């Protein structure tokens, strides 16, 4: 729609725009001074203009570029521009071992790292043929960590969405609640995010002693914060005026665009991978999948809060199972695959315990060689491919893995829910107000690390 007349030179181009009003000229400006363009637009009497919202914008949830064609305050066309946070994670995974790949994919959607780890490891275990060999305790820990991560992710969505609409109290409350969960994640994995904790065959190490009591201690606090958020948001007339009836996307639209997660469930479809295609033993847990038929931004807030409560239900069940499986392994028994997992910290607070070092160095030379090769070269995965999905906080996360029989993935590709959900921006925003674009994007809860990869 635009043409270049020279570096930095102001220019505007006019092109036909077919809509219900007939052929209407539009203008796109870039570079130089706006005076000439404004004067020409004023002569014609047109107020339609193309503006960029992002990629550096506080309300685009990262480096998302929205190209908005507006007529006054009305959005006539909305398009997404992505790729500003491209990291080459999928390609990099082809040059690292299967275990090292976890440290890459965990950094995609940085608000929900444990879900990428779980999807990648479950897909790897499918090709290895060890899905049924994963210890029960390892699966329980995986579910526990994912559900805590789901709550922390939803809290970020609620908090940042509230802040973007001017309600800073909602943000501070959400982040305070999230801190309670991050302390638990740090106690278990050593890190607040990008954990690389879930590994092919199980988890990196067992949970620390007393973690059950720590988690039980924070559950009432988190529920209390969720109740306060509900009071601040759901019955607030200003909040409801901004969200009710805004960003509508019905079930037909969701199905046509491949939308999943809370956005799809807000349109009435109870699709949840944990129920439809269970993994990690989710079929044995008692929880509900909340839905709505309002299909607007307000209903998505309600659903995310309710999903937090459901996740806390699952967490309580995990704690009971953890207590009944104390002492059980957290890594598959096959020593050709199992990464060292039953480790202890040395007396200096660093590294492996002396007992572990004595075992691998004193038992036999073969044990030391095996440990060295497993860590440096990695294990071999048979020729084959797998497709694995998990229920991510933003929708269905899928991973397609291909192995050529080596120690590294031949191909690793992720179906990130944020990438697919962004297709709904046009349908949700066009015809609405510019201010509603912020609300609609917030209800999608995109994370650009997962979109661009």
pLDDT score of 281 more than 70: yes
For 143-152, 163-172, 346-355, which range has the lowest pLDDT when averaged over its residues? 346-355
Full-model pTM:
0.84
Specify if 209 maps to a domain: yes
pLDDT at 366: 76
How far is 424 from 434, CA to CA, in rounded Å? 16
pLDDT score of 232 more than 60: yes
pLDDT at 3: 36
Domain range holding 18? 12-81
Specify if 90 maps to a domain: no
Q: Do residue 53 and residue 103 come from a single domain?
A: no
Q: Do residue 143 and residue 33 come from a single domain?
A: no
Query: Mean pLDDT over residues 147-163, rounded?
Result: 92
Q: Do residue 140 and residue 114 come from a single domain?
A: yes
Q: Do residue 233 and residue 300 come from a single domain?
A: yes
Confidence class for position 164, pLDDT limits 50, 70, 90: confident
pLDDT at 62: 76
Confidence class for position 64, pLDDT limits 50, 70, 90: confident
pLDDT at 21: 53
pLDDT at 116: 93
Using omega within 30 degrees of 0 as the cis cutoff, is the peptide bond preceding 55 cis? yes
Specify if 375 maps to a domain: no
Q: Do residue 100 and residue 53 come from a single domain?
A: no
Sign of CA dihedral 127, 189, 104, 263: positive
Specify if 259 maps to a domain: yes
pLDDT at 135: 92
pLDDT score of 140 more than 90: yes
Specify if 358 maps to a domain: no
Specify if 5 maps to a domain: no
Specify if 242 maps to a domain: yes
Tell me how many domains the chain contains: 2
Query: Mean pLDDT over residues 292-297, rounded?
Result: 89
Q: Does residue 147 contact residue 318 with C-beta atoms inside 8 Å?
A: yes
pLDDT score of 19 more than 60: no
Q: Do residue 221 and residue 73 come from a single domain?
A: no
Q: For residue 49, what are its two tokens?
A: 């203009």
Among the three residues 81, 107, 136, which one is the final residue of a domain in this structure? 81
Q: Do residue 137 and residue 195 come from a single domain?
A: yes
Predicted confidence (pLDDT) per residue in 308-323, tens digit? 999 999 999 999 999 8
Compare 27 and 317 and report the one with higher pLDDT: 317
pLDDT at 37: 63
Predicted confidence (pLDDT) per residue in 386-423, tens digit? 999 999 999 999 999 999 998 999 999 999 999 999 99
Q: Do residue 315 and residue 237 come from a single domain?
A: yes
Q: Do residue 213 and residue 314 come from a single domain?
A: yes
pLDDT score of 61 more than 70: yes
Q: Do residue 153 and residue 176 come from a single domain?
A: yes
pLDDT score of 238 more than 50: yes
Radius of gyration of the chain (CA): 25
pLDDT at 60: 73
Specify if 371 maps to a domain: no
Percent of the chain topping pLDDT 90: 43
The CATH code of the domain that includes 286 is 1.10.645.10
Q: Do residue 124 and residue 16 come from a single domain?
A: no
Confidence class for position 273, pLDDT limits 50, 70, 90: very high
What strands, in cross-sheet order, belong to the sheet with 384-392?
A: 384-392, 395-403, 411-415
Among the three residues 81, 114, 137, which one is the final residue of a domain in this structure? 81
Q: Do residue 216 and residue 326 come from a single domain?
A: yes
Among the three residues 34, 51, 81, which one is the final residue of a domain in this structure? 81
- Round the average pLDDT of the chain to a whole number and report it: 84
């Amino acid at each position: 729609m635009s043409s270049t007349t020279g570096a930095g030179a102001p220019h505007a181009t006019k092109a036909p725009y077919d809509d219900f009003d007939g052929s209407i000229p539009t203008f796109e400006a870039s570079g130089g001074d706006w005076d000439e363009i404004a004067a020409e637009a004023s002569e014609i009497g047109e107020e339609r203009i193309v503006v960029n919202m992002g990629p550096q914008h506080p309300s685009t949830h990262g480096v998302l570029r929205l190209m908005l064609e507006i007529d006054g305050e009305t959005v006539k066309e909305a398009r997404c521009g992505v790729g500003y946070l491209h990291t080459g994670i999928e390609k990099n995974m082809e040059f690292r071992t299967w275990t090292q790949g976890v440290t890459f994919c965990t950094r995609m959607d940085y608000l929900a790292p444990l879900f990428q780890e779980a999807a990648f490891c479950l897909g790897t275990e499918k090709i290895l043929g060890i899905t049924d060999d994963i210890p029960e305790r390892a699966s329980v820990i995986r579910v526990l960590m994912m559900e805590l991560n789901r709550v922390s992710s939803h809290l970020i969505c609620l908090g940042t969405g509230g802040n973007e609409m001017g309600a800073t109290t909602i943000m501070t409350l959400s982040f305070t609640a999230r801190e309670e969960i991050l302390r638990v994640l740090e106690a278990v994995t050593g890190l607040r995010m990008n954990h690389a904790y879930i590994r092919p065959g199980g988890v990196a190490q067992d949970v620390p002693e007393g973690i059950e009591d720590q988690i039980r201690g924070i559950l009432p606090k988190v529920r209390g914060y969720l109740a306060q958020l509900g009071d601040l948001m759901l019955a607030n007339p200003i909040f409801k005026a901004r969200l009710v009836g805004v960003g509508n996307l019905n079930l037909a639209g969701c199905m046509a665009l491949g939308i999943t997660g809370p956005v799809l469930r807000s349109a009435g479809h109870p699709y949840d991978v944990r129920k439809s295609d269970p993994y990690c033993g989710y079929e044995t847990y008692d929880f509900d999948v909340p839905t709505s038929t309002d299909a607007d931004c307000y209903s998505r807030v309600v659903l995310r809060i309710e999903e937090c409560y459901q996740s806390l239900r699952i967490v309580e069940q995990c704690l009971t199972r953890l207590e009944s499986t104390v002492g059980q392994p957290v890594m598959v028994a096959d020593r050709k695959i199992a990464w060292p997992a039953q480790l202890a910290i040395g007396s200096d607070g660093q590294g492996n315990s002396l007992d572990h070092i004595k075992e691998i160095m004193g038992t036999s030379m073969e044990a030391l060689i095996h440990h060295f090769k497993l860590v440096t070269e990695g294990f071999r995965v048979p020729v084959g491919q797998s497709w694995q999905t998990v229920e991510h906080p933003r929708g269905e996360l899928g991973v397609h893995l291909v192995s050529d029989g080596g120690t590294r993935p031949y191909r690793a590709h992720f179906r990130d829910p944020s990438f697919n959900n962004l297709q709904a921006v046009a349908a949700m925003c066009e015809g609405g107000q510019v201010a509603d674009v912020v609300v609609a994007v917030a209800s999608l809860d995109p994370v650009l690390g997962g979109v661009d990869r």
